[in-house]
Structure 1
């Protein structure tokens, strides 16, 4: 299981790959470990970073972006969208670049455990629930009774403010598109 979390970085580029607009998260992601407020001038920094880190350099005429960008120990999914638009009376191709935090299931479960103050055993129960196991199967894996599993799940439901097992899963994987 993997999920995407955190505020995404967004950059809008003109046809020459120069930034037109961006959000603070994009600067934070691309500037790490430097502090974003120390980056001057931002447009030049972004242009350089896009060309050096976000573009695949395969000699193609059309720009092709990497699928994944690493910022420290964090991984970001990089998606580029081509837009046809009229920018300040210039007609051309523009590109929107989206950088979304990618987390493995274990990383997201740790973050979730902190957010909802889950104990280790409650987290373990949720992890097994996410694998699609029944209460009896979870109990066998954890060497506890099925009633204890149900008790853990009830505690998790209270902490997450949901009323069903699928509600727990829904909180973790987020809303469906």
Structure 2
């Protein structure tokens, strides 16, 4: 994931300071399990894995982990069939977002699940900035994501978050049928 060294250090500091920082993946165990059952992926990548609670909770799925702020999990990841990226994109440096989305497209072979907060974080970086560096409405996120993926499903929790299932455009129709989704979801206003 493209990240500046100073910001990588600030994130590492947050991981060290707060036991709860990088632990939100526990909300998504059931979703990841459901996607795994339907897609039968050969590989799963938790992109921005934080403390690694997803892989720890689902050991039968052999989830690979990547997080540039966690020593031992910071090696550039290989592609995976299923990519999970929860509570990550809003933390990306704004000038790095396009590069991160491009990297997510590089590593996503079948589909990816994104959870993106659209509200300020409770935590603050050591330089005083809110830990959510990008706070934008769902439409803004949609426009950026659609530059790299086909959106298969889009769920907005007003004032809170966006949950999106996406696929590389070449894979979208096959994934829709595999997941028994009705077709490209209308994500307009």
- TM-score, scaled relative to structure 2: 0.30
Q: Which has the higher helix share?
A: 1
Structure of larger gyration radius? 1
Q: Which has the higher strand share?
A: 1
- TM-score, scaled relative to structure 1: 0.31
